[in-house]
Amino acid sequence: MVGVGAMGRGIVSVLRKIEDMEVVAIADIDSNALERSRPFLTKNALVTTNAMDVLTRKPDVLVEASSTIVEAAFIVRRAIEEKVHVVLMNGEVDQLFGRLLAKDAQANGVILTSDAGDQQGVLSRTIEDVRQMGFEIVMAGNNKGFLDRYADPKSVKQEAAKRRLSLRQCTAYTDGTKLAIEMALVGNAAELVLLRRGMMGPRVDHLEDALEAFDLERARKLGGVVDYVLGAKPGGSVFVVGYSDDQEDRFYMNYYKMGEGPYYLFMRPYHLCHFETPSAIRRIMESGKPVLVQKKRFLEVGCRAKTDLQAGTRLEGIGSHHLYGILEKAGNLPIGMAEGTVLLKSKKKDQIVNWNDVRFPKEDYRLSLWKEQTELQADT
């Protein structure tokens, strides 16, 4: 286990109850976080501030649950080289470099996958179920409780403390960046696109209202889309809209209280994040299958200025004062690449920050990874 913050600690706590799984090592740069997780471990487990050390215990699976990108990519690649399967609770590195890392894993005979319990994992499993019942996928949808594009680490301080989240995490959850990351993963795995840049995100009272809130005919003509609703009950839910105009299907779906069709809403009323991580591990070890892997990068999480920014500003990245992420077609600067770059041109609030607007630090490891991934994309 690498990263034992809010999610990682929960994973360690849950895994101690699973009879045929054992946490053999945990790592985090925060010694206090390590101490908070120590009571959930066996006496012989390794507890370290050096992520690479966890691989000395020869694990079957590495769970990466930090929120880093460069560091996470480095440890994941090393794990893959050592023939260790990888589960990513880290959506940031998953979305940015997951395509490349999954190809590395395939070449080494191991599996890299998104986790099973975050929205992208739950949606991926629901899409799989709906397709196996013979329905056409029209939409994969998230349910966002609250959205403030301009939230920053100062404005979320109380909420972060209440939820045991870092300020960076809580900001990314609130400003929509995490939402965009989740839906980019789903879209790139299931080959779904967008109704519009940034998604529609209508406010509805109940998730069932999603069937009336979107232009589903257009979504179907596009081959299926990702989107979200705002403020719907039940909180924490996700949904998939399926389509069938088959008269037998429509008779039975109406009989099963799913409506007259031809569009049907399949709702998962909860996603339980770390509680579902054992399912991802078991799927790897027993079935040899990932939960979610990006097939191609149709969608990207681009950058927008959260406030007026002056040229010369050294940009903070995800969950910061400077930028929020927005889901759009691939091609623009991903928000995961922006941290630590220097802004070359002043930007007004909500303006795009793109590749030619920033200067990267010398010898930035992200650029070499990005080049590898771009070449991989060109070959497929």
Rounded to whole angstroms, what are the CA distances from 222 to 181, 218, 293, 321? 21, 6, 22, 35
Mean of pLDDT values over 72-88: 98
Q: pLDDT tens digits for 341-354?
A: 999 999 999 999 99
Residue tagged 């980019």 (tokens):
184
Contact 219, 195 (CB under 8 A): yes
pLDDT of the residue at 141? 98
CA 47 to each of CA 20, 60, 356: distance values in angstroms, whole numbers, following the listed order: 21, 17, 43
Share of the chain above pLDDT 90, in %: 97
Domain ranges (residues) in the chain: 6-116+282-287, 119-271, 299-367
Query: Taking Cα atoms as reference points, which of 279, 320, 286 lies closest to residue 303?
Result: 320
Model confidence at 377, pLDDT cuts 50, 70, 90, reads confident
| pLDDT value for 380 | 62
Q: Exposed, middle or buried by CB within 10 Å (0-12, 13-18, 19+), for 279?
A: middle
pLDDT at 370: 96
Are 353 and 333 contacting, i.e. CB atoms less than 8 angstroms apart? Answer: yes
Pairing of strands 238-243, 263-268: antiparallel
Nearest to residue 177, comparing CAs of 53, 308, 79, 69?
Answer: 69
Grade residue 378 by pLDDT with cuts at 50, 70 and 90.
Answer: confident
Residue 27 carries which side chain, given as an amino acid letter? A
Say whether 299-367 and 6-116+282-287 share the same fold: no
The helix/strand/coil state of 67 is coil
CA 7 to chain centre: 13
In this structure, are residues 157 and 171 in contact, taking their beta carbons and an 8 Å threshold? no
Half-sphere exposure of 80 (CA within 13 A, CB side): 25
194 membership: H or E segment, kind and range? none
- The matching CATH number, chosen from 3.40.50.880, 1.10.1200.10, 3.90.1210.10, 1.10.3720.10, for 299-367 is 3.90.1210.10
- For the record, the structure tokens of 32 come out as 């206090």
Residue 20's contacts (CB-CB under 8 Å, 6 or more residues apart) are: none
Report the distance separating Cα 103 and Cα 274, nearest Å.
Answer: 25
The closest alpha carbon to 229, from 253, 265, 254, belongs to: 265
For 126-173, how does the pLDDT look when each residue is reduced to its tens digit (9 = 90+)? Answer: 999 999 999 999 999 999 999 999 999 999 999 999 988 999 999 999
* CA distances to 119, 141, 200 from 204, in Å: 19, 13, 12
Q: Both tokens of residue 123?
A: 């949606």
pLDDT at 379 over 80: no
269 upstream amide cis, omega within 30 of 0: no
pLDDT over 70 percentage in the chain: 99
The Cβ of residue 374 has, within 10 Å, a number of other Cβ atoms equal to 12
Which CATH number does the domain 6-116+282-287 belong to among 3.40.50.1220, 3.40.50.720, 3.30.1490.440, 3.30.1330.10?
Answer: 3.40.50.720
pLDDT in tens, 272-331: 999 999 999 999 999 999 999 998 899 999 999 999 999 999 999 999 999 999 999 999
Nearest-angstrom CA–CA distance, 130 and 165: 33
Quote the distance between the C-alpha of residue 280 and its chain's center: 14
Say what the pLDDT of residue 121 is: 98
